[in-house]
Amino acid sequence: MNTKHILLSVCCLAAFTSCAAPRPKGIEAGVCAYTFRHLTAFEAIEKTKECGGEVIELFLWQKLSPEHPKVVTDMNLADEHIAALKAKLKQTGVRAVNAYFNNAAFQDKANVEANTRKLFEFARKLGLRGLTGEPPAEYLDIVEKLVKEYDIQLCFHNHPKNPKKPDYRNWEPAYLLSLMEKRDPRMGFSLDTGHLSRSGVDPVETVKLLKSRILSVHLKDVKEAQPGSGDLPYGQGIGNIAGVLTELKRQKFCGHIGVEYEHTTDQLLDDVKHCLNFIRNHKP
């Protein structure tokens, strides 16, 4: 290999490894685009800016924009639409740090790695720090391989306990921790505190248990410990949001906290603003 080829290889490697969003030095307060799922991704970015969020977590089945209402923001997004999405983010000053994916990539068992690679390629092109989802446990080795290759986090998500799905265990903190045993440190959790509360699990104790494996947080306050319990502004429910924030800060958590509402309200923007202010004004 001649000098020209060596220099080209080094430059390509540098460009590849620097594409992911930089690791944060503290807490980033933002919004999960799912909160604004009745809108397009462009509009969710605008609402995040309006509410005072600095970062956003996208989700990969939202329509792209009012101008492109049939285009889906997912791993098959064309380069021209990725460029438009990045331009929208730059225009608003909101940074996309993660994207929530469903499990479509794992349904074709013969092409799991190729399909999962598409997810990581999308994240690389958009400059994301991580991908959020619930990949089946049997495919975590493939996911870990790509986490190492792309230097992009996998933030494993938890949903609530479901009596109709007794085999579902991702609501159990000890089980979650077992999934990440001895895995790459970029493999961790997008901890959903609302889903913990809905499952009758103490969010603060879970933060203490999972520690540095928590890479991001879907922070929710909910009315009661019941499946489907409604979202409430921080401090008005059973979620002990102040306690969660105190423990995260005690651990020197560095990552994004996303305000997420699963239930729309007539005062959604005001509620999101309240929650973001709660995060920023919280004193341990």
| Domain at 91, CATH number | 3.20.20.150
Per-residue pLDDT, averaged over 23-50, amounts to: 96
Q: For 215-225, what is the mean pLDDT?
A: 97
**Lowest-pLDDT range of 14-28, 39-53, 113-127, 207-221:** 14-28
Position 3 in a domain: no
Q: What pLDDT sits at residue 7?
A: 38
Q: pLDDT at residue 244 above 80?
A: yes
Q: In the structure, what pLDDT confidence band is assigned to residue 220 with cuts at 50, 70 and 90?
A: very high
Specify the pTM. 0.91
Residue entry with tokens 């220099």: 7
229 lies in a domain?
yes
Percent of the chain's residues with pLDDT above 90: 88
Among residues of the chain, what percentage have pLDDT more than 70? Answer: 93
Bridge partners of 58, per DSSP, are 99
> Would you say residue 14 lies in a domain?
no
Residue 85 belongs to some domain of the structure: yes
* Confidence at residue 22, expressed as pLDDT on a 0 to 100 scale: 72
Asked if residue 6 is part of any domain, the answer here is no
Tell me if 90 is assigned to some domain: yes
Task: Look over the chain and give the mean of its residue pLDDT values, rounded to a whole number.
Answer: 93
* CA angle, residues 186, 190, 193, in degrees to nearest 5: 150
Q: Residue 45 belongs to what domain range?
A: 24-281
Residue 13 has pLDDT above 50, yes or no: no
pLDDT for 11 equals: 39
Overall average pLDDT of the 65-70 stretch: 97
The pLDDT tens digits for 117-176 are 999 999 999 999 999 999 999 999 999 999 999 999 999 999 999 999 999 999 999 999
Q: What is the pLDDT of residue 24?
A: 82
Asked whether residue 244 is domain-assigned, the answer is yes
Identify the pLDDT of residue 25: 83
Task: Please count the structural domains in the chain.
Answer: 1
List b or e across 106-140, with b for residues whose CB sees 16 or more CB atoms inside 10 angstroms: beeeeebeebbbebbebbbbbbbbbbbbbbeeebb
Q: What is the pLDDT of residue 284?
A: 86
In a domain, 9, yes or no: no
- pLDDT given for residue 20 in this prediction: 63
Determine the pLDDT at residue 9: 37
